[in-house]
Amino acid sequence: MMRKFSLLLAGALMGASAMSLVYGTPTSSANAAGSDTYKQLAIFGDIFERVRAQYVTPPDDKSLVENAINGMLTSLDPHSSYMNADEAADMRVQTKGEFGGLGIEVTMENNLVKVITPIDDTPAAKAGVLAGDYIAKIDGEDVNGMTLNEAVDKMRGTVGSPIKLTIIRQGADKPIELSVVRDIIKVKAVKYRVEDDVGYIKIASFTEKTYDDLQDAIANIKKQVPNDKLKGYVLDLRLNPGGLLDQAVSVSDAFLDRGEIVSTRGRDPKDVTRFDAKAGDDIDGKPLIVLINGGSASASEIVAGALQDLKRATVVGTQSFGKGSVQTIIPLGENGALRLTTALYYTPSGKSIQGKGIAPDIKVEQPLPPDLQGRDVTRGESGLKGHIKGPEESEEGSGSAAYVPPDPKDDLQLAFALQLLRGEKTDPAFPPNPQKAVFNQ
């Protein structure tokens, strides 16, 4: 028997896809390659040697092999790939939600790293880094010419090690030099606030800490708003690319008392795994509205699909991304890991959302600002070249605009949700009727 240890993940291209981590060797059920296959492999070996011997400049053997492997895997679907040792390590960091670094959320602007916000009580905040600062140099090296990932990699590092940042700040007459000592940074996967009589919870990704952060958010909202005045909750899953599947199951279970949350089905019809809810609703049956858009993918679609099918929440927004495939992560020791699509996942009603996505109960479009009008901000699995065609996929495909305004005052989808919860708007889809929950047969 092959020994297994499972780490299930669910996400879109910009993150960890729905996966299981498997240790061991291929099982005896694997199909043996035929003679024609070995002939093709012989052709590959011949071409590899000719490239090494005759290409105009000496190629790097390791790069040739890695690119050949990736070419094979990416020809299968957009989510299968080979990760070298560094990429595999980075994936583990992302899913853990904890790393050695500075504690800043950043983006790239004008060829410089722009600080969106320093995280409270982190080395960056203590050193005086401010929102809106531009990082021009990292340890004396110009940021101009780096990618955002390269800059982020340079800022992460061993806990306790120092780093020098050269910052350009509006209003300052010259660049500011700051020395920051790296520390353990715990990324908050969940943010929350109280909107008068409504609890607002935003899940940015599904890391190892998401469910714990969600419980803290719910507990703090309950402390701030008396139960008799709390109208309900908004669960914002917009722009959430996914993450750990077990966390998506736990988050769904936080709002459910019963029912199947999600199932995964592989090539073999007997290869079905089901995840069920346990008794207990963390928000005590209060009304719940889930927000989704084209940036809501995989793990976030699992949550939205479960709460929608089981009639626990009303889903508001636009069509989700439609990434419903499961990847198996096979560690290759010091050589990295193989990410291979092995199954599709299904909502409680037994529907696959691969290439289809979650359709909201109430469609509410979010207008684009003038600087984005005319640009394609639509995101969807069905638009990815080589994607696996889902059983429920149609010509309409999946996905929609992946945009959320930075200022909540401009957020029409959130405003609509708040009005529903307060009774200022009505719709037949709200509140949902649990008696009409659809269970998989």
Query: What's the length of the chain?
Result: 441
Catalytic residue among 309, 352, 398, 400: 309
| C-beta separation of 9 from 329 below 8 A | yes
Q: Catalogue the E-assigned strands of 152-287.
A: 162-168, 176-181, 183-186, 190-195, 198-203, 232-236, 242-244, 260-266, 272-276
Q: Strand 232-236 relative to strand 288-292: parallel, antiparallel, unpaired?
A: parallel
Q: What is the structure's pLDDT at 30? A: 52
Q: At CA 214, angle to CA 211 and CA 216, rounded to 5?
A: 115
Q: What is the structure's pLDDT at 20? A: 42
The verdict on whether 323 is a catalytic residue reads yes
The verdict on whether 376 is a catalytic residue reads no
By three-state DSSP, how is residue 48 classified?
helix
Catalytic residue among 114, 202, 323, 356: 323
Q: What are the per-10-residue average pLDDT scores of the chain (441 residues)?
A: 36 42 42 77 94 96 93 93 86 78 86 85 91 93 89 89 94 93 87 97 92 97 97 96 90 96 93 94 97 95 97 98 89 90 93 96 95 86 94 94 93 98 98 86 55
Q: What is the structure's pLDDT at 32? A: 61
Question: Domain map of the chain by residue range?
Answer: 98-186, 190-325+343-436
Catalytic residue among 298, 320, 325, 398: 298
Superfamily for domain range 98-186: PDZ domain (2.30.42.10)
Residue 45: which residues within 8 A CB-CB, separation 6 or more? Answer: none
For 190-325+343-436, the fitting CATH number among 3.20.20.150, 3.20.20.370, 3.90.226.10, 2.70.180.20 is: 3.90.226.10
Residue 384 tokens read as 């990815």
Q: What is the structure's pLDDT at 15? A: 38
The verdict on whether 309 is a catalytic residue reads yes
Could you check whether 98-186 and 190-325+343-436 share the same CATH topology? no
HSE-CB at 150 with a 13 A cutoff on CA atoms is 11
Q: What is the structure's pLDDT at 328? A: 81
Q: What is the structure's pLDDT at 7? A: 39
Q: What is the structure's pLDDT at 187? A: 77
Q: What is the structure's pLDDT at 440? A: 65
